[in-house]
A and B are shown apart, each in its own frame.
Chain A
Amino acid sequence: MFLQFIANGIVIGSIYAIVSLGFALIYNTTKIFHLAYAVLYMFCPYMILTFFHGLGLNLFISFTVAIIITVFLSVIMEFLVYRPLAKKESSLNIMLISSIGIMIVVTNIISLFYGSETKILNSEISKTFTIGNIILTYAQISQVSISMILIVVFLLFLKFSRFGIMTRAMRDDDVLCQVLGMDIYKMRYVLFALSGLFSAIIGGLVAYDVGMDPYVGMPILVNAVVALIIGGIGRFEAPIIGGFIIGILQALSVWAFSARWQDAVTFLLLIIFLLFRPTGILAERKRLV
């Protein structure tokens, strides 16, 4: 039983890790507390629903088109809301509130068109796969493996590509980047697109397994943010580590207490970290000046 819980923890942890990574991509570079990121996670499945069930397209094509549309939505958020605010040099709190505004708008548009009840993409009972006494569905295995691939590709990309170097430079000092002639607004579009891609892929995969409603994004995002804090802000490996820690810890708290208290355990961990180690596990060395 214990191993089964650990396995479940890794599955849920991989979701948190990817969402957290996408959030960190925005937060570390632009300092925007992008709560509207939550809606991208649930937007993609609804697009899949439209193309797959509504228009009757092939599953793979609907998936691809849905992901493209979601990425597009992510970029539109930057174009319509954050970019003008950034040009006005609005404060971060204003960005945060605007982000909440976007979240409310998109969630309710989806709810208006598709209804607020749970929808499912796949009505078949998923096939399972057994290793020892651990049982996982094929959907779960694909979630974990695709997450792993995304993480590895992204980290390599970050380390070695020109874009990765620019991302890390922007994390350190975006004003300096501007001074050095980097077009940071163009960079920001790419970052928003990339983070939208992460969210869309994992959101689509999860919804294919368990279905979705317009409000699924927020709890996942909140956990992902906790993962980011625990991992440590500033480094891109941190949200991944944090994501798996949260996932496994939640699974263990289900095992030890009951599913009802897993959120409380997560947020208690958040508070403990905020109080005693706000820099997270992989702390950046602190600069005093």
Chain B
Amino acid sequence: MDYIFHIIILINIYIILTTSTNLLVGMTNLLSLGQAAFYGLGAYFSVLALMVLHLTIIPALLFSAICTSLMSLLIAYPSLRLKGDYFVLATLGFQLIIYTILYNWISVTKGPFGISGIPSPSLFGLLYISGIYSFLVLSSVLAAMVIYIFYKLIHSPFGRALKGVRDDELSLLSIGRNVTSLKIWAFTLSSGFIAIGGCLYASYVAYIDPTSFNLDEAIFILAAVLIGGTGNIKGPIIGAVFVVVLPELLRLVGLPDSIGANLRQIIYGLTIILLMRFRPQGIAGEYALK
């Protein structure tokens, strides 16, 4: 039973990651290879909040989300001046810079040794969230909250304007909308919410190191979104379920982990190639990448 709960918690974390990324990729047509960097920043900021500032869980979540959004604002402004491949490259560059900093700034992040013994967060100082059941509740609540917020965002005038950016930037400019500021909003919101995933991950696993937030992870998050589908709410959720459940299924059929790890990556890769060719909007998505 615990095993199933563990899977559900992982799915919840990935739902937060993919739903936030969808705001960028699916709604605004900005392909970012830097999402793992914000996931990582969120995790490290939450460690700062929990271990150094001794905050309880809600302030810690807010702290890491806000700090990560502010960091992303620094990155958003220069990157968003670039278009197409150049934007992808800029996000890739920032992803690698942030990873290098997390890896090498040993005095602060402990670098490759990672930070262990992250304490269980408390709720209002009354209740300690430790053990799998409380994390199940916490992660489900957070995932539901993130889904709800993005549902609201997508179906609001703001969401409509973002879809406008995706469909036709020129036209949106000609009707007097500030495209850059809309993109910056999408970028910072996406990274702020992805930080919540980072915070959840850090407090659940109680150990973080930079390799969880490297370029492979960024590609993995992007792959999850694109497999599930872009542009609506259910696509990213399906993507998250797919990428978390597939390895467990492979384990269930009795493949040893050594083969399973590679095999599932091969399956992800093939799925991406086939989807891009035959169904570029993903399994359940609405909009194909442009």
Do any beta carbons of A and B sit within 8 angstroms of each other in the complex? yes
Which residues of A are at the interface with B, using a C-beta cutoff of 8 A? 33, 81, 84-85, 88, 90-94, 96-98, 100-105, 107-109, 111-112, 218, 222, 225-226, 229, 260-261, 263-264, 267-268, 270-271, 274-275, 278
Specify which of A84, A222, A261, A274 is in contact with B86 (CB 8 Å cutoff). A274
A97/B226 in contact, CB under 8 A? yes
Asked if B93 is at the interface (CB within 8 A of a chain A CB), the reply is yes
| Closest chain A residue to B105, Cβ basis | A260
A101/B276 in contact, CB under 8 A? yes
A267/B269 in contact, CB under 8 A? no
B85/A96 in contact, CB under 8 A? yes
**Interface hit among B11-19, B139-147, B172-180, B257-265:** B257-265
**Interface hit among B52-60, B96-104, B200-208, B231-239:** B96-104
A93/B266 in contact, CB under 8 A? no
Contacts of B276 in A (CB 8 A): 85, 90, 94, 97-98, 101
**Interface hit among B64-72, B76-84, B124-132, B240-248:** B76-84
> Of B104, B226, B276, which is in contact with the most chain A CB atoms at under 10 Å from its CB?
B276
Report how far A105 CA is from B273 CA in the complex, Å: 9
Contacts of A96 in B (CB 8 A): 31, 85, 88
B266/A105 in contact, CB under 8 A? yes
Asked if B155 is at the interface (CB within 8 A of a chain A CB), the reply is no
> Which of the four size classes fits the interface of chain B?
35 or more
Sort A-B residue pairs by CB-CB distance and give the 9 closest, nearest first: A104-B269, A101-B272, A105-B269, A101-B273, A108-B265, A112-B262, A108-B262, A260-B104, A264-B100
A-B contact list, 5 entries, CB within 8 Å: A93-B31, A93-B84, A109-B262, A261-B100, A275-B78
Given A84-B277, A102-B269: 16 more A-B contacts, CB < 8 Å: A85-B276, A88-B277, A90-B276, A91-B289, A94-B289, A96-B31, A96-B85, A104-B266, A109-B262, A112-B262, A261-B104, A271-B90, A271-B93, A274-B78, A274-B82, A275-B78
Specify which of A92, A100, A267 is in contact with B223 (CB 8 Å cutoff). A100
| Closest chain A residue to B96, Cβ basis | A267
Which residues of B are at the interface with A, using a C-beta cutoff of 8 A? 31, 78-79, 81-82, 84-86, 88-90, 92-94, 96-97, 100-101, 103-104, 215, 219, 222-223, 226, 259, 262-263, 265-266, 268-273, 276-277, 280, 288-290
B265/A104 in contact, CB under 8 A? yes
Report how far A107 CA is from B268 CA in the complex, Å: 12
B97/A268 in contact, CB under 8 A? yes
B100/A271 in contact, CB under 8 A? no
Contacts of B223 in A (CB 8 A): 100-101, 104
A94/B280 in contact, CB under 8 A? yes
A275/B97 in contact, CB under 8 A? no
> Contacts A93-B289, A222-B92, A271-B78 known; A108 to B266 CB distance under 8 Å?
yes
| Closest chain A residue to B273, Cβ basis | A101
B86/A278 in contact, CB under 8 A? yes
Report how far A111 CA is from B104 CA in the complex, Å: 27
Report how far A225 CA is from B96 CA in the complex, Å: 13
Report how far A96 CA is from B276 CA in the complex, Å: 10
> Contacts A91-B290, A109-B266 known; A100 to B272 CB distance under 8 Å?
yes
A22 to chain B, nearest CB (A): 17
Report how far A215 CA is from B226 CA in the complex, Å: 23
Contacts of A271 in B (CB 8 A): 78, 90, 93-94, 97
A81/B273 in contact, CB under 8 A? yes
A73 to chain B, nearest CB (A): 15
Contacts of A111 in B (CB 8 A): 262
A263/B86 in contact, CB under 8 A? no
